[in-house]
Amino acid sequence: MRIRDIIRLSVDSMFHRGLRSWLTILGIVIGVAAVVTILSIGTGTQQSISNQLGGLGANVLSVSAGSGRAGGFGFGGEFRQTQTSTQNLTIKDVQVVKSVPGVQSVDGIVSGREDVTYLTQTISESVQGVDPLAWQDINTAKLSSGRYLTSSDRNVVVVGYAIANTVFKQPMSLNTQISIGGASFKVVGILQQSGGFGGSDNAIIMPVSAARTVISGVILNQFSSIQVKVADVNAVSNVSTAITQALLISRHVTENTKDFSVTSSQSIQQTISGVVGTLNLFLLGIAATSLLVGAIGIANTMFMSVMERTRQIGTLKALGATNFEVMKLFLVESGIIGFVGGLIGVFVGFILCGTISELGVRLLGVGGEGAGGVTLTMITPELVLFAMGFSVVIGMISGLLPARRAARLLPIEALRFE
């Protein structure tokens, strides 16, 4: 038989069984849609982490007070560490870090939360005091409007996208006056939206001298953290080790009594990516169970098809069809079931991914085109091809045993079957 005849017979058989075929296909649809959705969420999450941590740059290190065991980015985008020591960083530490070879810029940061009043509304928000020139060199945040801070600025601030547009009932504009900790500041710059993870959307950035006057509990010449820009991105690890050794000597501590932490955005990304990868693997296992159920459904349908079409198999063999041709007939049929299920499953996966992204934008405020083009889900051509190929392979493997059973039927016995 020609392959065209085999395909035509397979399609006719599927339409003949009608509802049973579509119920079998439904099992594959559910499994493929689950796999596509979970893998796209994993890919989107990984890309989001890379893009959002890229706001600090791959060559940026963060020095935090306390020998932390876990860390994360605060509301203002600075890295915050779970601390085992309350001793802060000092101006001496900043000078020590500046002296390390390979360091391009150093920014001693004072941060905290203060009441921010705009018009008649007061909200507690993250406030950062920075060295204007060093901050502009280290961070890659882009301006939506206005200008960056300068070394001569005093009572002026640059605000994140969310502060200017969504936090308060009325949007802010340039040269707006806001009150922070009881002091008046003028908004001279508004940053572009960077997304919810590790960005500066909810940050209010001002000169460090002004921050010391409005942030409660700040001690003179002490800093909450230190950001470091390494001149060569390939030397980040070596510079991080050198900074650690220099601070160990300067602060008169050892590795066991260390009261500070040096962290890179790359190490944070690797840690988070590992956690996300493990979670995705777990969820993928659950989705694979759906595919297994679908595969069992295909096998059951094909066994029933062999029984129902025994006389047809006998007729085909009597007319000269070989065992291999009969086997191909049932393998192609099961493969078509897998293909149709995979095609519909990918389409359903697209819908689910779009829904998840939209919910992320509306409910969580993350993802979407406004966040640097990053979405919560990402469907790649490779993912579509994998899902389609996997569903066809699952279908053909599920139909292998029924196909072999059909091929082994003797023509005389098949023709006498009732």
Specify whether 155 is located in the same domain as 212. Answer: yes
Q: Which residue has the higher pLDDT, 68 or 210?
A: 210
Residue 199: pLDDT over 70: no
Which of 246, 245, 148 minimizes the C-alpha distance to 200?
148
Average pLDDT over residues 316-331: 78
Each residue's pLDDT tens digit, 232-258: 888 888 999 999 999 999 998 888 888
Q: Which residue has the higher pLDDT, 218 or 198?
A: 218
Determine the pLDDT at residue 69.
44
In-domain check, residue 312: yes
What is the average pLDDT score of the chain?
80
What share of the chain has pLDDT > 90, as a percent?
Answer: 27
Please answer whether residues 289 and 107 qualify as being in contact, where contact means their C-beta atoms are separated by less than 8 angstroms.
Answer: no
Average pLDDT over residues 170-185: 93
Measure the CA–CA gap between 211 and 49, rounded to whole angstroms: 29
Name the token pair of 92: 């001496």
Please answer whether residues 199 and 168 qualify as being in contact, where contact means their C-beta atoms are separated by less than 8 angstroms.
Answer: no
In-domain check, residue 242: no
Q: Which residue has the higher pLDDT, 358 or 102?
A: 102
Residue where one domain finishes, among candidates 170, 202, 231: 231
Which of 139-143, 170-174, 308-312, 349-353 is least confident?
308-312
Residue 180: pLDDT over 90: yes
Which of 30-44, 133-147, 281-295, 357-371 is least confident?
357-371
405 by Cβ neighbours in 10 Å (0-12 / 13-18 / 19+) ranks as: middle
Q: Which residue has the higher pLDDT, 349 or 81?
A: 349
Specify whether 321 is located in the same domain as 217. Answer: no
Residue 8: pLDDT over 80: no
Name the token pair of 215: 């942030």
Beta-bridge mates of residue 159: 190, 204
Determine the pLDDT at residue 358.
74
Specify whether 217 is located in the same domain as 282. Answer: no
In-domain check, residue 92: yes
In angstroms and rounded to an integer, the radius of gyration of the C-alpha atoms of the chain is 31
Determine the pLDDT at residue 249.
93
Global pTM value: 0.59
Specify whether 209 is located in the same domain as 287. Answer: no
Specify whether 38 is located in the same domain as 121. Answer: no
Q: How confident is the model at residue 370 (pLDDT cuts 50, 70, 90)?
A: very low
Specify whether 397 is located in the same domain as 321. Answer: yes
Please answer whether residues 64 and 228 qualify as being in contact, where contact means their C-beta atoms are separated by less than 8 angstroms.
Answer: no
Measure the CA–CA gap between 210 and 195, rounded to whole angstroms: 27
Specify whether 275 is located in the same domain as 376. Answer: yes
In-domain check, residue 401: yes
Average pLDDT over residues 191-204: 73
Q: Give the contacts of 101 (CB within 8 A, at least 6 positions apart).
A: 239, 242
Specify whether 42 is located in the same domain as 95. Answer: no
Q: 97 lies in which domain range?
A: 60-231
Average pLDDT over residues 187-204: 78
Residue 132: pLDDT over 90: yes
Tell me phi and psi for residue 197, to 5 degrees.
-105, 115
Residue where one domain finishes, among candidates 174, 204, 231: 231
Specify whether 75 is located in the same domain as 209. Answer: yes
Residue 107: pLDDT over 90: yes
Residue 365: pLDDT over 60: no
Determine the pLDDT at residue 148.
94
Specify whether 12 is located in the same domain as 95. Answer: no
Each residue's pLDDT tens digit, 392-418: 888 888 888 877 777 777 766 666 654
Distances (CA, A) of 206 to 189, 190, 245: 11, 12, 31
Specify whether 372 is located in the same domain as 282. Answer: yes
Tally of domains within the chain: 2
Specify whether 223 is located in the same domain as 371. Answer: no
Tally of CB atoms within 10 A around 36: 27
Average pLDDT over residues 365-392: 69
Each residue's pLDDT tens digit, 26-80: 888 888 888 888 888 777 776 766 665 555 567 888 898 876 544 444 434 444 4
Distances (CA, A) of 238 to 242, 323, 400: 6, 67, 56
Residue 153: pLDDT over 60: yes
Residue where one domain finishes, among candidates 231, 253, 286: 231
Determine the pLDDT at residue 97.
94
Determine the pLDDT at residue 102.
93
